[in-house]
């Protein structure tokens, strides 16, 4: 059946709550209101206030309560209304949740989820992509799906995982992306990339909303005889190093595309992996296409300038193909 990206996430959580009574949701306005984007709409009617818990506006407290519950055998799914405010819980996530297994071998089956990303004119406090803050922190898995099928399967895998998972849902995709999603139970393994499109001339390594940007560019370039391979990372921590190396060895030319700013971004890490494991396979420089090193502008024309665009990918792919 065809589901939106949002509905796929909603179904993934709902089905896990039906399957496992230890799964519960906690967050701001998730109960009676049904969540800022309505991901948990109707949950409180089905599962009750003990499993769909409304909280004060206190992200650190939300994570602290969820972490405590996880340590006692529960599987909490904690929602942030916007992932921009995840910084309010940074100490809890990085120093407590992420280090629990390392410090004393304790499982911490906790999912922290919510909307991230720009192109919705939300301004600098409601449009960020803060995944790299947590990619750098050991002990955390970080997931950024691009489509409905993966969003549902990755959510179910995240809830079942005994490790903490931070689940970034790109808000621009919530109601814009529809895909066929099986009615049967399935998961998408964490830490495994998918080949969104096979190609022979050059590879684009990307994730989340930028997968769709890459696919649009690939369609334009195919009419010029340029064949792009698109690798969707899906999970950005841990990275699927094998898939990255395989696509480099196949096409020998690489563009790394992401929405968050360039400095300290994932493109630098991927470039280092390629240099370490597939340098001799390169036939051209590794190209980075990223957002600018500024806050996300509120002004629609400025935000469009700030974000990577299809035209940027087309231009750089032409140059790299001719290199």
Catalytic residues: 126
DSSP string, 228-270: EEEEE-SEEES--HHHHHHHHHHHS-EEEEEEEESTT-HHHHH
**Rounded Cα distance, 92 and 63, in Å:** 7
In angstroms, the Cα distances linking 153 to 5, 65, 143, 189, 215 are 11, 26, 11, 8, 21
- Structure tokens that stand for 159 in this block: 């809830």
Q: Are 186 and 154 in contact (CB under 8 A)?
A: no
Q: What is the DSSP string of 87-116?
A: GGGHHIIIIIITTHHHHH------EEEEEE
Q: Rounded distance, CA 109 to CA 190, Å? A: 14
Residue 208 has φ and ψ, to the nearest 5°, of 55, -140
Cα separation, 286 vs 282, whole angstroms:
8
Place of tokens 């035209």: 311
> Considering just the CA atoms, what is the radius of gyration of the chain in Å?
19
Residue 221: in which H helix or E strand, if any? helix 210-222
Length of the chain: 323
3-state secondary structure of 170: strand
Residues 6+ apart with CB under 8 A from 276: none
Rounded to 5 degrees, what are φ and ψ at 235?
-105, 125
């Amino acid at each position: 059946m065809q589901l939106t990206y949002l509905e796929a996430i909603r179904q993934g959580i709902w089905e896990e709550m039906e399957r496992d009574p230890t799964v519960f949701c906690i967050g701001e306005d998730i109960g009676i209101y049904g969540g800022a984007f309505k991901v948990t709409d109707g949950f409180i009617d089905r599962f009750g206030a003990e499993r769909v818990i409304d909280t004060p506006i206190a992200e650190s407290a939300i994570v602290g309560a969820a972490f405590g519950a996880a340590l006692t055998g529960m599987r909490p799914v904690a929602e942030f209304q916007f992932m921009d405010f995840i910084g309010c819980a940074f100490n809890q996530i990085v120093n407590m949740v992420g280090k629990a297994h390392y410090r004393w071998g304790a499982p911490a089956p906790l999912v922290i989820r919510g909307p991230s990303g720009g192109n919705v004119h939300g301004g600098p406090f409601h449009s960020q992509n803060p995944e790299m803050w947590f990619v750098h922190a050991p002990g955390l898995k970080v997931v950024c799906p691009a489509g409905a099928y993966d969003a549902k399967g990755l959510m179910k895998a995240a809830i079942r995982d005994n490790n903490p998972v931070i689940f970034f849902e790109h808000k621009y995709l919530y109601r814009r992306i529809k895909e066929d999603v099986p009615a049967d139970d399935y998961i998408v393994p964490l830490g495994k990339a998918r080949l969104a499109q096979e190609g022979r001339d050059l590879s684009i390594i990307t994730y989340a909303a930028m997968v769709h940007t890459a696919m649009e560019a690939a369609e334009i370039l195919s009419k010029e005889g340029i064949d792009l391979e698109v690798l969707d990372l899906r999970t950005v921590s841990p990275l699927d190093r094998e898939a990255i190396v395989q696509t480099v060895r196949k096409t020998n030319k690489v563009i790394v595309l992401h929405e968050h700013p360039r400095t300290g971004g994932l493109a630098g890490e991927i470039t280092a992996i390629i240099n370490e494991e597939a340098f001799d396979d390169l036939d051209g420089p590794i190209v980075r296409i990223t957002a600018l090193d500024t806050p996300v502008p509120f002004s629609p024309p400025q935000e469009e300038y700030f974000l990577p665009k299809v035209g940027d990918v087309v231009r750089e792919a032409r140059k790299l193909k001719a290199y």
